[in-house]
């Protein structure tokens, strides 16, 4: 039945079976949640609690009338890196574009060099400090990409760090291979050869070591073409590994159509996506992962077509896109606020975006992202007036209790 019972709580479940036009959060007031072996065994109004055998011993915890939500899902991050790119922030404020910085050897490549020059242990320690901050902000499921190594040794180093973070810290980790992030200096002028290297050498070894949960690529006019990304997607299909894609951030380059054709879990950024692409996403069931942190930080002016996503019922996710060049953010609640103020999303939409839809973007919707029977008991207790308040504060809103895998876990 349960080994832990939480009572005296209000619950925002994010459960689609409870969400309605009147209540976009799936709320249950005066609720209780039963947990057994790390999973939710019962959730509902406390007045509907089933009779419990008198000899059943279990731990009862009071939520003191506060709000319980699912743990937050950060489904797009580049948090595994070394080095510092704060100077680029100043350059952009002095008129240099993101594309110009990348073309002159800065941007991603500068982080690649720094990441290559640290040991695996050093990279773990650097990354763990950032992840601790994410955990403190409410993240319980975290996508972590490679893409700052771009050699066999260094891509595997990043992916091993992702696995090690998941083993050492109270956070559920989804590791993504993003070898097609940038062209490394040693392959300058040989972009097709580099894609071949990814497919023939790095991807098979990473898959052999069970280091990959999905494969991503950067399909853009300053990165890789749809034809090159398709070669990578074919290789991923042969290995039965799901795909995702950075697309339509700086231009419409055709990546979204490609991603939809291959049934991608998500396509991410999408400032320059058009309606025909969105129709393809709807047919494929692909999540539109929106990243307002990057939009804000690089001072983009073209807003993703939120109304078209709504029109075609494309699920909208949100993530921090935590990275050193364009989104130095660890706060999903801060991202929720940006999505409301910059993209005009509703608080209800942003709540779903960082819970059940975030989980869907990682293929984890059957275990995470909602408070429902059978789901893992990753939960947050907040001292708030209601779930709408999570998108009100501009970051820094932290849960007072964090339950991970059914057990109380440190917030910090």
Q: Is residue 78 a known part of a binding site? A: yes
Q: Is residue 249 a known part of a binding site? A: yes
Nearest residue to 146 (alpha-carbon basis) of 135, 157, 133: 157
Number of residues that this document lists for the chain: 412
Q: Is residue 323 a known part of a binding site? A: yes
Handedness of CA 59, 365, 136, 337 (dihedral sign): negative
Q: Is residue 174 a known part of a binding site? A: no
pLDDT at 175: 98
Q: Is residue 401 a known part of a binding site? A: no
HSE at residue 142, side-chain half, CA atoms within 13 A, is 36
Q: Is residue 192 a known part of a binding site? A: no
pLDDT at 341: 98
Distance (Å, whole) CA 187 – CA 183 = 7
- From first to last of the 412 residues of the chain, give the pLDDT tens digit: 899 999 999 999 999 999 999 999 999 999 999 999 999 999 999 999 998 876 677 899 999 999 999 999 999 999 999 999 988 888 878 998 867 887 777 777 889 999 999 999 999 999 999 999 999 999 999 999 999 999 999 999 999 999 999 999 999 999 999 999 999 989 999 999 999 999 999 999 999 999 999 999 999 988 999 999 999 999 999 999 999 999 999 999 999 999 999 999 999 999 999 999 999 999 999 999 999 999 999 889 999 999 999 999 999 999 999 999 899 999 999 999 999 999 999 999 999 999 999 999 999 999 999 999 999 999 999 999 999 999 999 987 899 999 999 999 877 6
Helix (H) or strand (E) holding 261: helix 255-261
H helix runs in 117-213, sequence order? 120-136, 152-168, 191-197, 203-208
Distance (Å, whole) CA 142 – CA 131 = 9
From first CA to last CA, the distance across the chain in angstroms is: 31
Nearest residue to 240 (alpha-carbon basis) of 262, 218, 268: 262
Distance (Å, whole) CA 231 – CA 229 = 5
What is the location of CATH 3.20.20.140 in the chain? 72-362
What pTM does this model have? 0.96
CATH T-level fold of 2-70+370-409: Urease, subunit C; domain 1 (2.30.40)
HSE at residue 404, side-chain half, CA atoms within 13 A, is 21
Nearest residue to 194 (alpha-carbon basis) of 148, 151, 230, 234: 151
pLDDT at 100: 84
Q: Is residue 148 a known part of a binding site? A: yes
pLDDT at 412: 64
For residue 204, CA distances in Å to 38, 117, 156, 193 come to: 34, 24, 11, 16
What is the location of CATH 2.30.40.10 in the chain? 2-70+370-409
SS3 for 236? helix
Q: Is residue 125 a known part of a binding site? A: no
Count CB neighbours of 1 within 10 A: 13
Q: Which CATH superfamily is domain 72-362 in?
A: Metal-dependent hydrolases (3.20.20.140)
Distance (Å, whole) CA 31 – CA 10 = 5
Q: Is residue 325 a known part of a binding site? A: yes
Read off the DSSP letter of residue 162. H
pLDDT at 367: 97
Say what the alpha-carbon torsion angle 247, 253, 259, 262 is, to the nearest 10 degrees: -160
Contact 257, 277 (CB under 8 A): yes
Distance (Å, whole) CA 199 – CA 181 = 14
């Amino acid at each position: 039945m349960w080994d832990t019972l939480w009572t005296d709580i209000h619950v925002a479940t994010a459960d689609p079976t409870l969400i309605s036009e009147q209540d976009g959060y799936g709320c249950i007031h005066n609720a209780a949640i039963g947990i057994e072996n790390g999973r939710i065994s019962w959730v509902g109004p406390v007045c509907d609690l089933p009779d419990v055998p008198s000899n059943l011993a279990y731990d009862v915890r009071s939520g003191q009338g506060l709000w319980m939500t699912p743990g937050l899902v950060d489904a797009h991050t580049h948090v595994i890196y070394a080095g510092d790119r704060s100077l680029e922030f100043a350059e952009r404020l002095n008129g240099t574009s993101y594309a110009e910085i990348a073309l002159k050897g800065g941007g991603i490549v500068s982080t690649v060099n720094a990441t290559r020059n640290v040991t695996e242990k050093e990279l773990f320690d650097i990354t763990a400090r950032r992840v601790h901050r994410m955990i403190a902000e409410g993240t319980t499921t975290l996508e972590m990409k490679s893409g700052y190594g771009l050699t066999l040794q260094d891509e595997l180093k990043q992916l091993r760090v992702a696995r090690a973070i998941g083993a050492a810290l109270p956070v559920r980790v989804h590791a993504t291979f993003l070898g097609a992030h940038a062209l490394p200096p040693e392959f300058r002028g040989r972009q097709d050869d580099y894609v071949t290297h990814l497919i023939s050498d790095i991807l098979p070894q990473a898959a052999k070591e069970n280091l990959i949960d999905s494969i991503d690529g950067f399909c853009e006019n300053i990165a890789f073409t749809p034809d090159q990304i398709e070669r990578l997607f074919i290789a991923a299909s042969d290995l039965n590994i799901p795909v995702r894609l950075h697309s339509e951030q700086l231009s419409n380059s055709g990546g979204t159509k490609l991603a939809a054709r291959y049934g991608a879990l998500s396509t991410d950024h999408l400032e320059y996506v058009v309606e025909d692409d969105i129709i393809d996403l709807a047919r494929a069931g692909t999540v539109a992962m929106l990243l307002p942190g990057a939009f804000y930080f690089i001072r983009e002016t073209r807003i993703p077509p939120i109304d078209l996503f709504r029109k075609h019922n494309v699920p909208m996710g949100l993530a921090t896109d935590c990275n050193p060049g364009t989104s130095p953010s660890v706060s999903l609640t801060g991202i929720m606020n940006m999505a409301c103020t910059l993209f005009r999303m509703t608080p209800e939409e942003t709540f779903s975006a960082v819970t059940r839809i975030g989980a869907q973007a990682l293929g984890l919707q059957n275990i995470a992202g909602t408070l429902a029977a059978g789901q893992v008991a990753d939960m947050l207790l907040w001292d708030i007036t209601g779930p709408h308040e999570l998108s009100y504060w501009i970051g820094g809103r932290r849960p007072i209790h964090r339950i991970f895998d059914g057990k109380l876990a440190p917030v910090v």
